[in-house]
C-alpha cells in the first residue's frame, strides 16, 4: 500500500527541456566550449548539475563549477519561465490529494527554483512537502533528497513510491529502500528503466492513479 508519492520535477512534473538546455548552452559557450548537440543535451536531463557538466559534458572540475554559476545566471532570468507542465501532471497530483495521499516533490533542482516553478504553474498547493537541492551542495544527490522527504513526512520507505523519468530516480529511491516507477513521458526510456531495475514502468503520469488504486485495493 502506497500512502505517499514522491515526484521528480524535470521531465516528470515539468517539461523543462527548453529552459535547462538553453542554460546549459549559455554556460558552455560562454566558457568557450562547442555548443552541445540537442541529443546530447536531452541525454543530460536528470543528473545533478555538477555531474551534468563534469561527467556528461566532460568539463574539467573548475570549469564545471564555473559552468554551474553561468547556468544559474541564465536560468534565474529566463530559463525558469521556459517550461510547461507535463501532460496529466496537475490531474494526477490533484486526484492523489483528493484520495488522501501525501504528495511530495523530490528533485535535485534547487529547492528555491522548484518552489517558484510549482507556484508559477499553480500546483504548489497540492504538495505537502517540497525538497530540492541546496546551493551549498550539502544536498545534491537524489538519495539525499529522498531521505529528507522521508524525514520530513515521517513515512517509512515501504509506504512510499518515487515517480521519475530517469535512472537517477530509480537508483536514488532504491538506495533509500523506496520503490520507484519510471514514467515514459519524460527523458528516459523503457530500456533505461529495465537496466536500472525500476519496480514499475508507466506510459503516462495518469497511470500513477491506476497503480494507486491497485496498490490500495485489498486482495
Annotation marks residue 8 as catalytic: yes
What cell does 58 get?
Answer: 566532460
Closest C-alpha to 1, from 92, 107, 102, 104: 102
Contacts of 39 (CB under 8 A, 6+ apart): none
Instruction: Count CA atoms within 13 Å of residue 166 on its CB side.
Output: 18
Spatial distance between the Cα atoms of 61 and 79, rounded to a whole number of angstroms:
24
Which one is catalytic: 8, 169, 207, 212?
8
Spatial distance between the Cα atoms of 69 and 83, rounded to a whole number of angstroms:
20
Contacts of 180 (CB under 8 A, 6+ apart): 161, 162, 163, 164, 169, 170, 173, 174, 198, 199, 200
Spatial distance between the Cα atoms of 144 and 122, rounded to a whole number of angstroms:
27
**Rg of the chain in Å (alpha carbons):** 17
Which positions are catalytic? 8
Amino acid at each position: 500500500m502506497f500512502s505517499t508519492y514522491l515526484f521528480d520535477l524535470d521531465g516528470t512534473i515539468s517539461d523543462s527541456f527548453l529552459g535547462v538546455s538553453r542554460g546549459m548552452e549559455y554556460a558552455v559557450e560562454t566558457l568557450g566550449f562547442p555548443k552541445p548537440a540537442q541529443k546530447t543535451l536531452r541525454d543530460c536531463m536528470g543528473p545533478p548539475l555538477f555531474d551534468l557538466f563534469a561527467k556528461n559534458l566532460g568539463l574539467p572540475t573548475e570549469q564545471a563549477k564555473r559552468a554551474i554559476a553561468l547556468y544559474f545566471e541564465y536560468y534565474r532570468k529566463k530559463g525558469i519561465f521556459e517550461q510547461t507542465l507535463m501532460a496529466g501532471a496537475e490531474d494526477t497530483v490533484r486526484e492523489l490529494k483528493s484520495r488522501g495521499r501525501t504528495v511530495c516533490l523530490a528533485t535535485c533542482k534547487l529547492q528555491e527554483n522548484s518552489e517558484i516553478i510549482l507556484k508559477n504553474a499553480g500546483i504548489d498547493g497540492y504538495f505537502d512537502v517540497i525538497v530540492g537541492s541546496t546551493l551549498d551542495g550539502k544536498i545534491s544527490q537524489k538519495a539525499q533528497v529522498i531521505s529528507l522527504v522521508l524525514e520530513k513526512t515521517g513515512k517509512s520507505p515501504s509506504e512510499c513510491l518515487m515517480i521519475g523519468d530517469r535512472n537517477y530516480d530509480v537508483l536514488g529511491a532504491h538506495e533509500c529502500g523506496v520503490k520507484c516507477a519510471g514514467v515514459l513521458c519524460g527523458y528516459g526510456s523503457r530500456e533505461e528503466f529495465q537496466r536500472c531495475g525500476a519496480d514499475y514502468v508507466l506510459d503516462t503520469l495518469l497511470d500513477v492513479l491506476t497503480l494507486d488504486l491497485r496498490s490500495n485495493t485489498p486482495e
